[in-house]
Structure 1
């Protein structure tokens, strides 16, 4: 897996590139980076070209502003794809990465072969959630380390926090490398993103939803109505929390692989 950089708006953006064939672009969530996809990329690269992007302010990518909107992050994805002359590709986004994928799909509806919303949602933040984001921004400014150490374990189902203690510790170590500006810019960008549920009904893009019944970040009762939208052609409902790529690694990977394979067959 090769590590590469591209300059976007004069800012270094990091990504990895592995495998051959139809392209699959993997987008991480908030406080995560491209390393979260290590296992998935290794498996998918056996059949596909897999590009894992560090979104602005995350991983090895620098910040380019004080607000990283989902549209601006989507522009980063397009810039990397265009750099490699990719015309159509699958996009998989975990949490915030799903918001970026939706922004991309709205701007370029004929480009994605598919979009996977991996513990993500097409809905905008509620007023209550926007207030929570503002509180989080205040805490990050005052105590960024405390914010990271508190936030990441809460993404897991309560019983998973002990089972995956080592993985959580590793994620915290990675997140603590982030600049405060990157954390705040992402929170601001998520807070201002619009509702994009219309894409699930009227776009030409087939969607896979992966969601958890015990997701404390995106409650299942708010996700469930989206699962019956006409362009949601496949779905996986797990019994765990927001971190299915760890809590239900094999099941989620299998579902994602079958979904992409089916879409590829349809395009053959």
Structure 2
């Protein structure tokens, strides 16, 4: 289904009945990343997925997609569907957007799960990587996208997921060049949002991968402690929905039920 927000088409899906759970994908992903998760969660819940600005079937909206702008597009879909209370699950970039949305709609949030994500802002090193990537992608978009995807998996088991990685690369290339750059700019500029977790009473869950090359496990443990969030650690990388699918489904079902 499509919703027009500020002249941009926003694609979303709406399935099932019960507690509303909003699944927000990560950078270079789209709503198809949840294809193995949605059928399990819709057995008892109403599941909303959204293609973020510049990703999948959704248009861009300018040249910088801030976390707040992303969040406002998600908010527009939820208002259109007349949804008052909901649980958020955000993967990577989707986690940053979930935090921005929670800051704007605290009273509506029943629970928030950061899946391979963090409330910390980018490190100086990560900011430099984003600046460099936005320059490099102008000349070789396809190679940059493909390289970005391969590095997200536990490198010890990357050969196990050859089919899945190729499918993810195919979906990632549906992200426009403008969408790539605009999202990277938004992530680079985002602020620390520890307080969104620490100062609110909704249920909080942080799920991380032990071999994640993007997030530091010890930092995630410290973050969970200081924000009073439950922490679940899987043995693999940044793509828990692929690398640890059954365990993730069980963790999400348990979390949703607790909210």
Q: TM-score range by the shorter chain?
A: over 0.9
- Structure 2, unmatched stretches of 5+, are none
Residue of structure 1 aligned with 2:200, choices 186, 198, 203? 203
Residue of structure 2 aligned with 1:255, choices 247, 251, 255? 251
Alignment of 1:17-166 (within 5 A): 17-166=14-163
Alpha-carbon distance in structure 1 between the residues aligned to 2:249 and 2:62:
34
- For 1:125-155, what per-residue CA distance to the aligned partner results, in whole angstroms no more than 9, with x for missing partners? 0111111100010111111111011110100
Alpha-carbon distance in structure 1 between the residues aligned to 2:41 and 2:226:
27
Alpha-carbon distance in structure 1 between the residues aligned to 2:227 and 2:68:
24
Alpha-carbon distance in structure 2 between the residues aligned to 1:102 and 1:178:
23
Alpha-carbon distance in structure 2 between the residues aligned to 1:206 and 1:229:
15
- Contact persistence 2:71–2:97 (CA under 8 A): yes
2:171 alignment partner in structure 1: 174
Instruction: Classify the secondary structure of the residue corresponding to 2:236.
Output: coil
CA positional deviation for 1:27: 0.3
Residue of structure 2 aligned with 1:246, choices 242, 246, 256? 242
2:233 alignment partner in structure 1: 237
CA positional deviation for 1:229: 3.0
CA positional deviation for 1:68: 0.5
Instruction: Say if 2:11 is the partner of 1:11.
Output: no
Alpha-carbon distance in structure 1 between the residues aligned to 2:56 and 2:168:
11
CA positional deviation for 1:205: 2.3
- Contact persistence 1:7–1:13 (CA under 8 A): yes
- For 1:51-79, what per-residue CA distance to the aligned partner results, in whole angstroms no more than 9, with x for missing partners? 11000000100101101011001001111
Instruction: Classify the secondary structure of the residue corresponding to 1:188.
Output: helix
- Contact persistence 1:206–1:231 (CA under 8 A): no
CA positional deviation for 1:170: 0.4
Across the aligned residues of Structure 1 and Structure 2, the Cα RMSD in angstroms comes to: 0.9
- Contact persistence 2:221–2:231 (CA under 8 A): no
CA positional deviation for 1:159: 2.1
1:266 alignment partner in structure 2: none
- Structure 1, unmatched stretches of 5+, are 264-268
CA positional deviation for 1:204: 2.5
- Contact persistence 2:195–2:227 (CA under 8 A): no
What is the TM-score normalised by the length of structure 2? 0.98
Alpha-carbon distance in structure 2 between the residues aligned to 1:91 and 1:134:
29
Alpha-carbon distance in structure 2 between the residues aligned to 1:245 and 1:18:
19
CA positional deviation for 1:230: 4.7
Alpha-carbon distance in structure 1 between the residues aligned to 2:105 and 2:14:
22
